[in-house]
Structure 1
Amino acid sequence: MAVRLLYGEISDLCVGKPKLGWISASASISEALSALKASGDTQLSVWECTGESANGRWICVGKFSVADVILYLCREINLADPFKAFEAPVSDILPKAEFPIVRHLEADSSLLEAIECILEGTQNLVIPITNHRTTDARKKSFIRKKVLKCDCLNRHLHCCWLTQEDMVRYLLNSIGVFSPIPTLTVESLDAIDSDIITLPYYKAASSALAQFSRALAQQKPIAVVDDENRLIGEISPVALARCNITTAAAIMTLSVADLMAYIEYSEPPEDLVQLIKMRLEGKNLVGMMELMDEFFHTSKAPSSYSPCSSDDESLSSSIDISKNGGWGRHSSTTRWEVVVCGPGSSLVAVMFQALANQVPCVWVVEEDQTLVGAVTLAGILEALSNVAP
């Protein structure tokens, strides 16, 4: 039964999926941000036309989110004039990865083929969807060979995303056919990924741009740890995609722990905004300050501004402010809410945790919060797909 399920067509997973929102790779970042806001989604597919515009073929070459823009603004070339950066084409900011992070598959491809793509590094699969299914071999062949015209991309062929979460959720609905694998521990299944990205809480976020870029390209959260490698919190590409573009200024001025606090707020408190602007002024990042002003419509921080009021002093006393340049609202003993399990947790329990919390991975920790690794959605798919010959 499990093998039959894995060899089933992925079109079964596309039922009810919305049509994929898209933008052209040649569109400006400003245009893409407007399209993203209008769509209500956190990401859009990016398409590029190969060949002449009159008879070219459109292919999906990546995906666009605010997280991409945030890291693009943090590049040294854009710090002085972030507004000019918005004129660049979307193609300039697509993450570079060893394997394509987006891949096309036919609707009659098997679920096992889709999982193999995921295990090679693909994050999203683009699947053509039609208004009705047909068993006519000639019609299927026509659909496969159909060329996407530049002026009729939406009319001729609808596409949808398939994500790792979609596949794990689909398999969970038939988890019994994989018995006894789901009841085994993640440790015994060798499903714990030790190739994780970690950052100490006191590290300057601006010095970790390479780690942020890797996290975005691989869609892996960053574990924030203390000096004993105990998990404090995380910075997720999913969370960054829900932020606004001023997070670039936060990255350039705050510690990793303070950045977590900034990301958590839908509207950051005024004193934190002013602290960021004060530090931008100290670094002579005038363009970033203007970006903050335009977004928040606030004035520059007064020169006498102090990040820690008398009410904050007791809170900041347990952390070495000189070490991390902290905002004073947390300490090394503070723990943010993250989804964790133990090495002895069963695979099915971890599946429930990941899907219920809509996270790309569940951190694996010892009883004292020491970080062991993570169970990713891709790791779950690999463990379940091992039943296929």
Structure 2
Amino acid sequence: MAATLPARQVSDLCLGKLPLRSLSISATVAEALAAFKRSGNNCVSVWSCKHGQLSEDSTAAEKVDAAGLDECRCVGKVCMVDIICFLCKEENLSNPGTVLQAPVSVFIRKTGDVVRHLNPNASLVEAIDLILGGAQNLVIPLENNGRNSRKKLLQNALSNSTFHDNRQYCWLTQEDIVRFLVNAIGVFTQIAVNPINSLGVIDAQNIATVHYDEPASSALPLISQSLEMQTSVAVVDGDGRLVGEISPFTLNSCGWDVAAAIATLSAGDLMAYIDCGGPPEDLIQLMKERLQERNLVKALELVEEDSGISSGFSSVSSSCSSSEDEEFRVGMRNGRSGGYSAKVARRSEAIVCHPWSSLVAVMIQALSHRASYVWVVEEYQTLVGIVTFTGMLKVFR
């Protein structure tokens, strides 16, 4: 591919993309939820800016050092699923009101470059190499249109949520690059029509699995890991057959109450809880009973308020409520951008292919489901591996 598309620039893949909405690294969870509400998205970029950090009393050396650095850098992103996993911690679930005041910096990885900046004139090969090196999202400056500069400056004055150093940026994702390759698949026909088991793209080692009957809370580390790897957690039965998945992508479209479901239900029940159409009433009742057994009073009150069902227990414990908890209720309501089922993009049913499936078929399958991976199963749904966008890109590189 490097020889076939030497002049292709990443700016070509950014045409029509919307500018990134952003948060400061010093923002709180409450501000992140408000940003989700305003944008209608459940992820937002996080930026670290050096504006105003140097005073008139700063030394000349400090000013020279600062001049060599970009004033604003995107350092990561925060998503609803990050907040859900954070809320699942016992200390946070017992006192959810404290979650809103937590800084979004707790969700930013301290090591590794999950987010990388790249010039718009960089080649597609450079972008792929960064992704193969571990980057999830590439931050690309959007080309400015001189005729609209005055309008953009006015927008910047009203809201700086999309401007940094008087520029707007967009994400370039693995999905964008794979979609471009599919659109140019005629160039790579000889590779793309081969079965995936002949190309070495089936990863049989890095598979996150949880048993159907295991507590969903036992999968929390795997959910966080799969969020970083842009994969999912496979739910299997005793014979190793794939019965479904717990996808960070699906969790990202849920309300905060799914944290209580993760803390109290089995992996199999959690799949039913997050499935498209909303949670069954019997699982809501089971979740509330287990919250009560564990004396998670405040979490129980919030679940009952969310479901619109009150009980004698909530009235007894209402005196325990605090202004902090009320702030949490308001904050979480502000973070929602629609009904439960309206935001769920797909069901907990796993997307699967077979070892003999062609690479192009698997690529199209992943893109059509807006997934960055496809599970690989053999006969009788036995799980044997996973194919990811990263694995696909290695073939073309």
TM-score of Structure 1 vs Structure 2, range by shorter chain: 0.7 to 0.9
- Greater Cα offset, 77-86 or 45-54: 45-54
Work out whether 1:218 is the aligned partner of 2:240: no
- Counterpart of 1:168 in structure 2 is 178
Work out whether 1:203 is the aligned partner of 2:214: yes
User: Which of the residues 56, 59, 70 maps onto 2:73?
Assistant: 59
- Counterpart of 2:291 in structure 1 is 280
In the TM superposition, residue 99 of structure 1 has moved relative to its aligned partner by: 2.2
SS of aligned partner of 1:363: strand
Q: TM-score, normalised by structure 2?
A: 0.80
- Counterpart of 1:158 in structure 2 is 168
Contact 1:106/1:128 (<8 A) preserved: yes
In the TM superposition, residue 291 of structure 1 has moved relative to its aligned partner by: 2.5
Contact 2:22/2:162 (<8 A) preserved: no
Contact 1:2/1:177 (<8 A) preserved: no
Q: Distance in 2 between matches of 1:6 and 1:164?
A: 19
Q: Distance in 2 between matches of 1:103 and 1:345?
A: 33
Contact 2:223/2:247 (<8 A) preserved: no
Work out whether 1:267 is the aligned partner of 2:278: yes
User: Which of the residues 373, 387, 391 maps onto 1:361?
Assistant: 373
Deviations 1:281-335 (A, max 9, x none): 10111121122134333214889xxxxxxxxxxxxxxxxxxxxxxxxxxxxxxx9
Q: Distance in 1 between matches of 2:311 and 2:378?
A: 45
- Counterpart of 1:351 in structure 2 is 363
- Counterpart of 2:199 in structure 1 is 189
Q: TM-score, normalised by structure 1?
A: 0.81
Deviations 1:79-105 (A, max 9, x none): 2201111111111233x3752211111
- Counterpart of 2:86 in structure 1 is 72
Q: Distance in 2 between matches of 1:382 and 1:301?
A: 58
Contact 2:215/2:267 (<8 A) preserved: yes
Deviations 1:6-28 (A, max 9, x none): 65110100000111111112111
In the TM superposition, residue 58 of structure 1 has moved relative to its aligned partner by: 1.4
Contact 1:364/1:373 (<8 A) preserved: yes
After superposition, residues 205-354 of structure 1 pair within 5 angstroms as: 205-300=216-311, 337-354=349-366
Q: Residue 24 of structure 1 aligns to which amino acid in structure 2?
A: S
In the TM superposition, residue 51 of structure 1 has moved relative to its aligned partner by: 6.7
In the TM superposition, residue 121 of structure 1 has moved relative to its aligned partner by: 1.6
Write 1 or 2 for the structure with the bigger share of helix: 2
SS of aligned partner of 2:386: strand
- Counterpart of 2:332 in structure 1 is none
In the TM superposition, residue 154 of structure 1 has moved relative to its aligned partner by: 4.8
SS of aligned partner of 1:291: helix
SS of aligned partner of 1:5: coil
Q: Aligned pair count?
A: 337
SS of aligned partner of 2:365: helix
Summarize the Cα distance change of 1:344–1:57 in structure 2 as closer, same or farther, 3 Å threshold.
same
Summarize the Cα distance change of 1:6–1:341 in structure 2 as closer, same or farther, 3 Å threshold.
farther
Q: Distance in 2 between matches of 1:155 and 1:57?
A: 7
Contact 2:114/2:134 (<8 A) preserved: yes
